Structure 1
Amino acid sequence: MQIATWNVNSIRTRLDQVQAWLKDAQPDLLCLQETKVDDPLFPHEVFEAQGYQVHFHGQKAYNGVAIVSRQPLEDVRRGFTGELPEDAEALQLGEQKRVISALVNNIRIVNAYVPNGSALKSEKYPYKLEWLSCLNRYLCAQAKRDEPLCLVGDFNIALEARDIHHPELLTGGIMASELEREALLKVLGDRLHDVFRVFEPDANHWSWWDYRSGAWDRDQGWRIDHIYLCDELLSQARSCVIHKHLRGHEKPSDHAPVSVDLNWTPTDDDEEMSELFSN
């Protein structure tokens, strides 16, 4: 089972590129971030014509997430209130469309688009930390159902020096500050693991290159698009790849897709859980 994540920076602008990559790479499931489109205008027909089912949670010009899947999407939950219906802060933070989840092949897929934070002195920085705290509560609520978990998305955080070009200059700034890293590590806890690092321990692997300052031409990137797996899924991982070449296309997203290949077959108990949710 191949699961991928990609911040497309406007699905309608990048639709042809996404279609072409789906045809070429044939992932079973693709999580999209920064779709930048209201739900009534999401181009779902294009994906359905390629044999995919799609669920989305978006807003005009900003944010937006979607899950595109060859297999049925069950128990779809939109926003933080999908897990935290009585949490007032979750309701407020949910005004920005940044989270969607579903059961796919009995795996809980959570697709997240973490706020950027802008700058350490910006009002958007404490908002980012509050958002990550809410994501932690969200995943704690999900954990009570004991579903195998795959958390993917654009996290706008480089957890380690090896995840940034020139870490000596950038560590401590936005997307690499101590508080951001601590907040994300709290979200992951002992439950979730960075599958890319199982296969690629070295530095100089990037998933995002800023449009500015010739970052792509100089290969000055950041690894901020992640796939995190629970122990049960991590033991079934066969590879994890950043599809860097897509960043070199004409008018690309500033992010490249990341995918993981799992040797995953649901157990009988998992299948019974899936039937329960679908009834």
Structure 2
Amino acid sequence: MKIATWNVNSVKARLELLLDYLREEAPDVVCLQELKCQDAGFPALEIEDQGYNIAVHGQKSYNGVAILSKRPIEDVTRGLPGDDNDEQARYIEAVIDGVRVASIYLPNGNPVDSPKFPYKLAWLGRLEAHVQTLLAYEEPFVLAGDYNVIPQDIDCYDPELWAKDALGRPETRAAFRRILNLGLTEAFRTLHKRHDYTFWDYQRGAWERDNGLRIDHLLLSPQATDRLLACEIDKRPRAKPRPSDHTPIWCELSE
């Protein structure tokens, strides 16, 4: 089972790129973030024509997450538990062929002197609590998405520049580590020691200079880790015209 995750930065603006990716790479499951559309505006017909089932949790103009799957999608949950007042569409979870998969768009948290940073940390705390619940099921799961977290200095082209940013702040990193320390595996860093990125800003020639960040992650339960075969970053979509500022990252699990 090949599971990919991609922050498309507007599914409508990036639809042709997404369809190309589905045709060329044909992953079994694709987790999308930053749809920037409501459920009714999601391009379901075009994606279904590529052989995918769809579960969407959208929001007008902002956020939005989705799961695409060539296999049946069951037991869909929309929204991260823990705050009934949170209306931001940042989490969707489903079971696909015995593997629980979540698409996550974690808050950015900037500026750090605004309410956005405490919201980010609180969201991470809710995710930690939910992971504890999921681990009790003792089943394979993959939490995939744009975490807006730079886990280590190696995951950033200029760690000093980003040290005070919400993506690289010590509080952010510590909250991310607490989730990993529950017993999860960060697929890419487990298999690769090299620096590599999933995000390049549109400004200042970041893509051409490889001034990137690795902020898109795949976190696996112990049962999924036992099945982990590979994890790679696919940079080709970022090099195409009018790309998202993120590129897909995927992992493969044995059947």
Whether these two folds match at TM > 0.5 is: yes
State the match for 1:241 in structure 2: 232
1:263 aligns with 2:250: no
- Counterpart of 1:5 in structure 2 is 5
Q: C-alpha deviations, 1:104-157, integer Å up to 9, x for none?
A: 110111111000011221221111111111111222223333221111100001
In structure 1, C-alpha distance between the alignment counterparts of 2:100 and 2:11, rounded to whole Å: 23
Question: Counterparts of 1:221 and 1:122 in 2: how far apart (Å)?
Answer: 25
Deviation at 1:171, TM superposition (A): 2.4
Identify the match of residue 183 of structure 1 among 157, 160, 175. 175
The 1-side partners of 2:136 and 2:54 are apart by: 26
Alignment: residue pair count: 255
Q: How far apart in 2 are the matches of 1:258 and 1:54?
A: 19
Asked whether 1:130 is paired with 2:122, we answer yes
Q: Which residue of structure 1 lines up, in the alignment, with residue 20 of structure 2? A: 20
Cα contact 2:139–2:223 (8 A) shared by 1: no
2:24 equivalent to 1:33: no
| Match of residue 85, structure 2, among 89, 92, 104 | 92
TM-score, scaled relative to structure 2: 0.96
Distance 1:184 1:221 in 2: 19
Pairing 1:1-279 to 2, within 5 Å after superposition: 1-80=1-80, 84=81, 87=82, 90-93=83-86, 95-203=87-195, 205-264=196-255
Structure 1 CA distance for aligned equivalents of residues 133 and 158 of structure 2: 38
Structure of higher CA gyration radius: 1
Which residue in 2 is equivalent to 1:275?
none
- Counterpart residue identity of residue 129, structure 1: L
Gaps of 5+ in 1: 265-279
Aligned partners of 2:28 and 2:69 also within 8 Å: yes
The equivalent residue for 1:273 is none
Paired residue secondary structure (2:103): strand
Between 1:98-107 and 1:164-173, the stretch displaced more is: 164-173
Q: CA deviation at 1:170?
A: 2.2
Q: CA RMSD in A?
A: 1.2
Please give the alpha-carbon distance, in whole angstroms, between the structure 1 residues aligned to 2:231 and 2:135.
24
Shift of 1:26: 1.0
* CA-CA distance at 1:52 after TM superposition: 0.6
- Matched position secondary structure for 1:125: helix
Structure 2 runs not aligned, ≥5 long: none
- Percent sequence identity is 40
Distance 2:135 2:246 in 1: 29
Amino acid at match of 2:212: G
Q: Which amino acid aligns with 2:243?
A: P
- Distance (whole Å) between structure 1 residues aligned to residue 65 and residue 71 of structure 2: 18
Instruction: State the Cα distance separating 1:12 from its structure 2 match.
Output: 0.7
Structure with bigger helix share is 1
The question of whether the paired residues in 1 share the 8 Å contact of 2:58 and 2:65 is answered with yes
| TM-score (structure 1 length as normaliser) | 0.88
2: CA distance, partners of 1:169 / 1:67 = 34
Q: For the residues of structure 2 that align with 1:51 and 1:185, how far apart are their CA atoms?
A: 37
Q: CA deviation at 1:7?
A: 0.1
Flag as ranges the 4+ runs of structure 1 deviating above 4 A. Answer: none
